[in-house]
């Protein structure tokens, strides 16, 4: 039998101006607010004294398009992407846009995002 424990810890909150790339091409300039969390899962089997810990980073946040356009399909189900955010300091974040967030403010093009922080 295996037990699992999960923990999450906020390790960074970042704001700035960046660019969104689709297939290597810059399509929009954005303001971003990101929250980077470290997620940890532990597993231990009875009879085995050692616990295995797996760690990875998760990114959530918001982007607001200031120049250009993301041109997301209106009928997208689930998540749109993958897209790439190049942050102000040069770091890169692979992310998806929740299709439900495209309806929140279509004029200002504000989107809720989630992605992988493995490059951070």
Q: What is the DSSP string of 14-27?
A: EEEEEEEEETTEEE
| Percent of the chain clearing pLDDT 90 (strictly above) | 40
How many angstroms separate the CA atoms of 38 and 55, rounded?
7
Listed by start position, the domains of the chain span 13-37+58-116
How do residues 36-91 score in pLDDT, each as one tens digit?
A: 998 887 777 666 666 667 788 889 999 999 999 887 666 555 567 789 999 999 99
The values of phi and psi at residue 94, to 5°, are: -80, 130
- Note the pTM of the prediction, 2 decimals: 0.77
Between CA 22 and CA 70 the distance in angstroms is 9
């Amino acid at each position: 039998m295996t037990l699992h424990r999960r923990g999450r810890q906020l390790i960074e909150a970042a704001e700035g101006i960046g660019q969104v790339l689709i297939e290597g091409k810059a399509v929009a300039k954005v303001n971003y607010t990101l929250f980077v969390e470290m997620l940890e899962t532990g597993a231990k089997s009875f009879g085995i004294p050692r616990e295995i810990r797996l760690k990875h980073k998760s990114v959530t946040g918001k982007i607001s398009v200031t120049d250009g356009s993301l041109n997301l399909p209106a009928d997208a189900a689930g998540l749109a992407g993958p897209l790439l955010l190049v942050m102000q300091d040069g770091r890169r974040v692979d992310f998806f846009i929740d299709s439900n967030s495209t309806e929140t403010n279509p004029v200002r093009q504000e989107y809720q995002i989630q992605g992988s922080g493995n490059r951070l």
